[in-house]
Amino acid sequence: MSTLRIANGRLRRRQRGVSLVELMIGITIGLMLLTALASLYYANSLSRTEFVKSAEQVENGRYALDQIRREVELAGFFGAGSIARGATVAGPALCAADPAALGFSAAGSTVPLALAGYGPGVAAPCLPDLAATSEVLVVRRVSTTPVAAPTPGVPYLQVSACPQDTDSFAFAASAAAAFGLRTKACDPAQPAALRQAVVRVFYLAACDRCSNGGDGIPTLKMAELVAGAFQSRSVAQGVQDMHLQYGVDLDSNGSADCYVADPGANNAAACATVPGYDWTNALANWRNVTTVRVNLLARTLKPSGGQSDNRTYDLGRAAASGPFNDGFKRHVYAQVARLVNVAGLREQ
């Protein structure tokens, strides 16, 4: 009996559970581990969120630059021929939409400026969401893709390659009867290509979606002339400021000799690299623009906790932008875009 009691006592001691103190210690250690894991997860989530914000800002800034660069490079494309070389230049109004006011002459002697810029405060009824502090860039050209037949009411350009044609080009917004120019073969059955007139305007708006008071997201937008009216669409969100500097070719060799904010003004004092250049003809100055230096200030779409942006940003103006003293992260993006169709003719 005594041996049996001793064995049962040992068995009960082996089966005994943990004490209350041991349980509390275990729970405390578990809670500490869970707290550490939760803190790590929260920190990783914040880092991932900030990374996404920064990546989105970089993507929007670079995409905005790329879109402007592509359009500037196509500015002044008026078909396969070099019709702009000897043609007279016209400066259409910013919001000109009527085909007769786009700067082309029907008889083939005048073409519009390839590019034009406007400072803040310009009157632009075709851009109802234009920010009051925004600069405006207008690109004029024709489509790189020809059409088989014209659509009535849509303006087209037809450039002749036949030396027997009286006019070098024809511009109209009517039926096919208005376009009788021919290809190099001079065969009436082989008419020259028809290309639709293109007008695109880059500007800044204080909102992406501007209905019902707007969403408050500064956005680079582009308005395009479609069916006799300008239609706007967003290009890149978060673009808060834009400054444009125009490279003017003073000696007609295709390279920019001086960068100015307004080629239409008299910049003789600031641009003395080529003596004797006449700055009094604003239209001629704009015609001599061969490059555009684009400076964009882009910010994140959402503020960051603990962020206080007290920096200033140099966009090429006399005074820097900022400080903004808010929670948004910002970065300046810059690029020089070349007017290939203007500078290329001069190099030849």
Q: Is 20 within the bounds of a domain?
A: no
Q: Is 237 within the bounds of a domain?
A: yes
**Which structural domain range is residue 137 located in?**
45-347
Read off the pLDDT band of 53 (50, 70, 90).
confident
- Report how far residue 93's alpha carbon sits from residue 183's, in angstroms, rounded to the nearest whole number: 32
* Model confidence at 206: pLDDT above 70: yes
Residue 75 in contact with residue 139, Cβ under 8 Å?
yes
Rounded percentage of the chain residues whose pLDDT exceeds 90: 67
How would you label 338-347 residue by residue, b for 16+ Cβ within 10 Å and e otherwise?
bbbbbbebee
Q: Is 337 within the bounds of a domain?
A: yes
Q: Is 147 within the bounds of a domain?
A: yes
Tokens standing for 81? 């021929």
Instruction: Report how far apart, in Å, the C-alpha atoms of 82 and of each of 107, 225, 255, 328, 348 are.
Output: 16, 24, 19, 47, 11
Could you tell me how far CA 162 lies from the centroid of its own chain? Answer: 38
- Report how far residue 167's alpha carbon sits from residue 302's, in angstroms, rounded to the nearest whole number: 56
Number of folded domains that form the chain? 1
245-300 pLDDT, tens per residue? 999 999 999 999 999 999 999 999 999 888 889 999 999 999 999 999 999 999 99
Q: Is 275 within the bounds of a domain?
A: yes
- Report how far residue 330's alpha carbon sits from residue 176's, in angstroms, rounded to the nearest whole number: 52
Q: Is 161 within the bounds of a domain?
A: yes
Q: Is 26 within the bounds of a domain?
A: no
215-227 pLDDT, tens per residue? 999 999 999 999 8
The arithmetic mean of pLDDT across residues 186-193, rounded, is 92
pTM: predicted TM-score of the whole model, two decimal places: 0.87
Could you tell me how far CA 4 lies from the centroid of its own chain? Answer: 92
Q: Is 136 within the bounds of a domain?
A: yes
pLDDT score for 49: 75
